[in-house]
Amino acid sequence: MTGERRGVLAIAGAALLWSTGGVGIKLIAAPPLKVACYRSALAALTLLAIFRPRLGHRSPTFFAATVCYGACLTTFVTATKWTTAANAIFLQYSGVVWVILLAPLVVGEAYRARDTIAILVALAGMALFFVGKLDAGGRAGDGVALLSGVFFAGIILLVRRERGEVAEASVVWGNVLTAIVLLPFVARDPGLDARSAAILVFLGTVQLAGAYVLFLYGVRHVRATQASLVGMLEPVANPVWVFLALGEVPSGFAMIGAAVVLAAIGWRTLAVETAPALELPAPD
């Protein structure tokens, strides 16, 4: 098996592991901040044991990426608790739109006409998530999911700006920061039932930390475009697991909106792949 094929399989495995986060979070009988705290604490311990990152010689970009990562984890867990898993993951994934929009300012990548088309189409798809919404909790969850997408975009842009080992270090220390910041909320009521504790062990050590290890291996062997496309397995599979386990069905408008967002991102990604070499951003 070639290195490229192994890389694709590793990223696919990471995406499928990430996609189980929705059903896992839904199954835990605990508030979102407690879930986020324990999940990140377990992931941090796992990643610290594997990567053993150092804190010396860190830049402001690293600290900003670390904060964005922790905020992204927390808002995603909260959104998944407050709205449907499908809405949470698809609206977070819309962060790619902000990456396209802000890349010229943050990392100096050229802006193209196809970027404008992709952004407008994706924004139209995102608007469909809010059609017919009557439940205030669902609206708040969708809003938090959109905010999670902003933090998600911040991670991508800041890591791309700094490059090197920032991705690895920011993920490790982002989990540490999340666990520490949320600890006061857990201290009031630290208890968990046996099933919730078992699910949290899986979410922290396998679904989050294990998936990241696979992804880090995979991106060393495939092009960024391939990684982006294979990564779309996550938002597609996430609501499927939740439907199979819990019977949660997203609204018809949400599913149409999800298809529109994914189509816009996929089209823009493939367009970059087939563009003339001179239009492509400089390789990492």
Asked if residue 33 is part of any domain, the answer here is yes
Residue 279's pLDDT is: 35
Distances (CA, A) of 33 to 48, 146, 202: 22, 18, 17
Residue 144's pLDDT is: 94
DSSP at 279? G
Asked if residue 237 is part of any domain, the answer here is yes
Asked if residue 22 is part of any domain, the answer here is yes
Residue 39's pLDDT is: 97
Cα–Cα distance, 45 to 33 (Å, whole number): 18
Residue 6's pLDDT is: 87
Cα–Cα distance, 104 to 171 (Å, whole number): 24
Say what the pTM is: 0.83
Tokens of 224: 């960024």
Tokens of 1: 């098996």
Residue 53's pLDDT is: 66
One-letter identity of residue 222: V
Residue 222's pLDDT is: 76
All residue ranges of the chain with pLDDT < 50 are 275-284
Q: Give phi and psi for 20, each to the nearest 5.
A: -80, -5
Asked if residue 206 is part of any domain, the answer here is yes
Domain range holding 135?
3-279
Selection from 274, 199, 262, 203 nearest residue 231 by Cα: 262
Residue 40's pLDDT is: 96
Asked if residue 271 is part of any domain, the answer here is yes
Asked if residue 284 is part of any domain, the answer here is no
What is the total count of domains within the chain? Answer: 1
Asked if residue 115 is part of any domain, the answer here is yes
